[in-house]
Structure 1
Amino acid sequence: MDFMTQQSYSAPGFVNGEVSFWMRSTGRPTPRPALPGDVSADVAIVGAGLTGLWTAYYLKKARPELEIVIIGREFAGFGASGRNGGWMSAEPAGQFRRYAKSGGVEAARALQREMFGAVRESIEVARAEGFSEDLVHDGLVHAATNAAQLARARAHIAEMRQQGWGEGDVFELSPAELGERVRIEGAQGGYWTPHCARVHPAKYTRGLAATVEGLGVTIYEGTTAISVEPHRVHTDRGVVGAKFVVEALEGYTLSLQGKARKLLPMNSSMVITERLSDAQLDAVGWHGAELVGDVAHSFTYMHRTQDGRIAIGGRGVPYNFRSSFDREGRTADSAVLQLKKRLGELFPALSDVRLEQSWSGVLGVPRDWCASVNFDRSSGVLTAGGYVGHGLSGTNLAARTMRDLILGEDTALARLPWIGRRARNWEIEPVRWIGATALYAVYGYADKREYALDAPRTHWTARMANLVSGR
């Protein structure tokens, strides 16, 4: 990688951190009151992100008489829900083969169909409730820029067909067809699926929070949950007693006592450009609202905003020792430079474009890379999370599933194969840090070799890393 100074990538007033560009563009919300002391409720939800907000929404819609409280350390949407890349994707929040092994192939296909439905449902509710600003349903493009990536893309399409994706659900794209949507340097092909929508994460999450409050749900902010026990949440402000307790902390799950190794808080970093000129946008050829990703091992995801910027993200520094991370989203210079370099590789016309902000956040990754929903009826505790980057739609499906479990309804959602799934804990330190750091170094090396060789086969080092990591 070429070494560049900050001045070579940053616009005047470049911001590193401050949660995310999405939140900065809307302004930080006015803080809600903290928990006033010991309270009781029918349902206590720990975590004011999309999992918690959607769960409260569907429970209140089904049973308006329920008293529901949400507990958040920061403001609603502070975490991954307000920092993500704005991809509302129907790709499964986990490994199809693992869901099929535990629940059967048909059950795994049912989960995939429900993910299609979660995208539609999330869009329909946002439009009906009035928080669909900047939400556009134009689908998702994955572009292959070398022969190995193209072979993986084609193999993935074949796998998707076996997993329940029909003729109208995914389409292979030739280089010319891909170029009609977005012009990516060296693109050899790819695929497009209509099952994805572009979302402004802050507007979406804040709109859902306001909707939930309008239904009578109480959101307590500035309140840190310390531990969860049967029918009880201990916080720094008091104890919340409830018949049901929902753990919905995703990448922040490690903050609860006894949960330090349950989910790996994986860092994902983003940068966003200044507003692009008409000439720059014409050179890129990206005039729709499709989300765009590549097929590299060091995966890159992109979002063209409503006001003509490009946000690009990736796993610059995927994991910090002992699961540490910067809560305000400050990003390592090396990660900013990597993303800037990748933007120029994919869009040479943007090599000199200035960046306006960078930020980072964490997503919760289970040891088996599969999202789950769990319910211990004797203790009243439910957990959901581990969406591995597919939380904008996965949270909606998980919330509707928990609604049915809490209400004791025997529905198709209550029989999905991610229910009752329990992955083993992550390894202790320093094994966890050494493993994560080494694996992503291997993936980076494999990407370089695949570009150098341009052969239609995944490099052997990446295949070995997949076996070790369980991806």
Structure 2
Amino acid sequence: MTAPSTAPPAAAPPWRPADLRAAAPVRGRVTADVAIVGAGLTGLATAYHLVRRDPSLDVVVLDATGPAAGASGRGTGLVGPRIGPAIDKARKRFGDETARACYLASEDWVRRTVDLVGELGADCGLTVGGQLIVAHSDRAAATLARQAEAYRQLDLDVAPVERPGRFRAALRHPVAATLDPAALTTALAAELDRLGVRRFDGSPVLRLSDGELTCPAGTVRAGRTVVAVNGFARSLGLPVGTVAPLQLHAVATAPLSPEAREQLGTEAVIDVTTLAPYYRLTPDGRLVMGGGPVNIPPTTRAAEHRRAWDWLARRLPVPAQITHRWTGQVGMTGDDLPVVGRIDDRTWFAGGCCGHGLALATATGGHLAEALTGDAPPPLPWHRSKAPWLPVAGPAGPLLQGYLRLLARRAARDGG
């Protein structure tokens, strides 16, 4: 095993984003056919698919910071088939036909993401393989058994693992992958530069009104606007219900020994218990792991971050030296479904990926491009204009914080 470092863990992921030119901020008056707010995977994928479908469109992308500055550059890199509630709950909520269609759609997103990496020629550490959903306790194993039965009844290719080894039980999703999310995001931005899409960094949107975006040093006037800011939706006061911003935590280790890698296997692992650990190996043998207590920004204290990182450190599946630790902000909704829909005649919104946004983001970009060019596919449950209300702020805010603490306690009890 690599000798442990005595230096404190870096406060950032161990990713190596693609080289990307810096883009100037919006200055003066800018006009475009389509303006996209947010240079994460969803926004950039929307721009990419738009200009691929209609090269005549004048598309601009603006971001408060720059590409991959948000969740798209700070995720753990798991690309799996997941949307909305667990499959057994999805059957009860939507019926068998819709639940099955949702799952098959999410498998297709994984394939599209793999294809996108190939189209871009992106060096982002892509590893195609299965994904395990695991249980460490009897309670969690019972949850997994209900999901396994739902997959069986829906004739979906998700089967229990006969010899789950160190787990109490496990299911295998055969269509999955892992990759470096920041490298994919920045490679997508670089391709947009090549295609002639104008990007503007350092351009937070202060106001959106009647097709005009007001930034600190200028304005953008567009015929149509896509707002793809996920957990930052509240800052714009958009009528999309509650897309609650949550800060998740992650760590990465030094490269593991060959023996430790063999013990972990090659497939990504996600605990079935909400907020319990999930992890994967990188091509250079690092363990990347997320999960544990979450925080509601912007009131989070440094001590809370340290407690969350320590929580993860105690649950590493093999002995290892943590070299990186970081947080990332995601958007959550009250019913586990994203919001991908039209706000008004000129404006679309996409967000609330609920921590499962890597494959979903690239697929959403394709869907929005189809919708904006008049060829939208049939809607699914998350194609909607708003999410349910959640008590994020005000007198009811402690209710949500208390619920999140309860989930963390359950994760400590039943998770890995």
- AA aligned opposite 1:223: S
Match 2:34 to one of 11, 28, 43: 43
Match of 1:4 in 2: none
What residue number does 2:307 align with? 334
Aligned mates of 2:344, 2:337 — CA distance in 1: 22
| Paired residue secondary structure (1:15) | coil
Structure 2 CA distance for partners of 1:68 and 1:192, relative to 1, 3 Å: same
Q: Contact conserved, 2:64 with 2:204, CA < 8 A, in 1?
A: yes
> 8 Å contact 2:88–2:147 — kept in the other structure?
no
Structure 1 match to 2:323: 356
Label 1:331 to 1:75 Cα distance change in 2 as closer, same or farther (>3 A). Answer: farther
- Match of 2:46, SS state, is helix
Are the aligned partners of 1:273 and 1:357 in contact in 2 as well (CA < 8 Å)?
yes
Q: 1:21 aligns with which of 10, 14, 30?
A: 14
**Contact residue 94 and residue 371 of structure 1 kept, 8 A:** no
One-letter identity of the residue aligned with 1:439: Y
The CA distance in 1 between the partners of 2:110 and 2:383, in whole Å, is: 20
2:284 counterpart letter in structure 1: D
One-letter code aligned to 1:388? C
Are residues 143 and 449 of structure 1, via their aligned partners in 2, closer, same or farther at CA, if it must alter by over 3 Å? closer
121-130 or 260-269, larger mean C-alpha shift? 260-269
Question: What pairs up with 1:397-408 in 2 under 5 angstroms?
Answer: 397-408=363-374
Shift in CA distance, 74/415, structure 1 to aligned 2, threshold 3 Å: same
* Partner in structure 2 of residue 88 of structure 1: 79
Q: CA deviation at 1:268?
A: 0.8
Alignment of 1:168-247 (within 5 A): 169-174=157-162, 176=163, 178-179=164-165, 184=166, 187-247=167-227
Letter in structure 2 aligned against 1:214: R
User: For the residues of structure 1 that align with 2:206 and 2:220, how far apart are their CA atoms?
Assistant: 11
SS of 1:439's equivalent in the other structure is helix
- 1:203 Cα deviation from its structure 2 partner: 1.2
Structure 1 residues 107 and 147, CA, compared in 2 at 3 Å: closer, same or farther?
Answer: closer
| Distance of aligned partners of 1:358 and 1:261 in 2 relative to their CA distance in 1, 3 Å threshold | farther
Deviation at 1:384, TM superposition (A): 0.9
The answer to whether the 8 Å contact 2:276/2:412 transfers is no
Distance of 1:95 and 1:119 partners within structure 2: 18
Distance 2:199 2:10 in 1: 29
Unaligned runs of 5+ in 2: none
1:315 aligned residue = 292
Worse overlay, 418-427 or 392-401: 418-427
- Measured after TM superposition, the shift of residue 266 of structure 1 is 1.1
Classify the secondary structure of the residue corresponding to 1:21.
coil
Aligned counterpart, 1:302: 279
* Cα distance change on mapping 1:387 and 1:148 into 2, 3 Å: same
Report the CA distance between 1:115 and its aligned residue: 1.5
- CA-to-partner distance for each residue in 1:109-152, whole Å, 9 max, x for gaps? 33322211111111112112201531111121122111111111
CA displacement at 1:315 relative to structure 2: 3.5
Q: Deviations over 1:155-177 (max 9, x none)?
A: 11223345x552xx212013x3x
Are residues 161 and 362 of structure 1, via their aligned partners in 2, closer, same or farther at CA, if it must alter by over 3 Å? farther
* Kept in 1: contact 2:273–2:410 (CA 8 A): no
Aligned to 1:415, the other structure's residue is in SS state coil
| Residue 381 (str. 1) matches residue 347 (str. 2) | yes
Task: Indicate how the Cα distance of structure 1 residues 257 and 420 shifts in structure 2: closer, same or farther if over 3 A, else same.
Answer: closer
State the shift of 1:16 in Å.
4.5
Residue pair 2:392, 2:400 contacting (<8 A) in 1 also: no
SS in 2 for 1:58: helix
Name the structure 2 match of 1:427.
391
CA distance in structure 2 between the partners assigned to 1:102 and 1:447 by the alignment: 24
Name the one with the larger helix percent.
1
Partner AA of 2:5 in structure 1 = A
The residue type paired with residue 21 of structure 1 is P
State whether residues 35 and 61 of structure 2, in contact with CA within 8 Å, keep that contact through their aligned partners in structure 1: yes
* Structure 2 residue 115 is the aligned partner of structure 1 residue 151: no
CA–CA separation in structure 1 for the residues paired with 2:62 and 2:299: 22
Q: What TM-score do you get using the length of structure 1 for normalisation?
A: 0.80
| Alignment partners' CA distance in 1, 2:190 and 2:241 | 33
Distance 2:172 2:413 in 1: 26
Distance 1:392 1:73 in 2: 20
Does structure 2 conserve the Cα–Cα contact (< 8 Å) formed by 1:157 and 1:170? yes
Is the CA contact (8 Å cut-off) linking 1:253 and 1:259 kept in structure 2? no
Aligned residue number for residue 69 of structure 2: 78
Give SS of 2:35's match.
strand
Aligned partner letter, 1:445: R
Q: What letter matches 2:229 in structure 1?
A: L
CA RMSD of aligned residues (A): 2.7
Range 78-87 or range 434-443, more displaced: 434-443
Instruction: Measure how far apart 1:272 and its partner are.
Output: 0.8
Give the alignment of 1:448-467 within 5 angstroms: none
Is 2:398 aligned against 1:418? Answer: no
Question: Structure 2-normalised TM-score?
Answer: 0.90
Quote the Cα distance in structure 1 between the aligned partners of 2:265 and 2:100. Answer: 33
Q: Aligned pairs, how many?
A: 412
Contact 1:298 1:440 in 2 (8 A): no
SS in 2 for 1:234: strand
Contact 1:94 1:388 (8 Å CA) reproduced: no
1:102 and 1:278, CA in 2 relative to 1: closer, same or farther beyond 3 A? closer
For 1:373 and 1:32, locate their aligned partners in 2 and report how far apart those are by CA, in whole Å: 27
- For 1:33, the aligned partner's letter is A
| Kept after mapping to 1: 8 A contact 2:239/2:386 | no
Cα separation, 1, equivalents of 2:152 and 2:179 = 27
Paired residues of 1:41 and 1:68 also in contact (CA < 8 A): yes
Whole-Å Cα distance in 1 between the matches of residues 151 and 244 of structure 2? 27
> Is the Cα contact below 8 Å between 1:253 and 1:263 reproduced in 2?
yes
Contact 2:334 2:389 in 1 (8 A): yes
Q: Residue type of the partner of 1:147?
A: D
CA contact (8 A) 1:40 1:241 kept: yes
Deviation at 1:415, TM superposition (A): 2.5
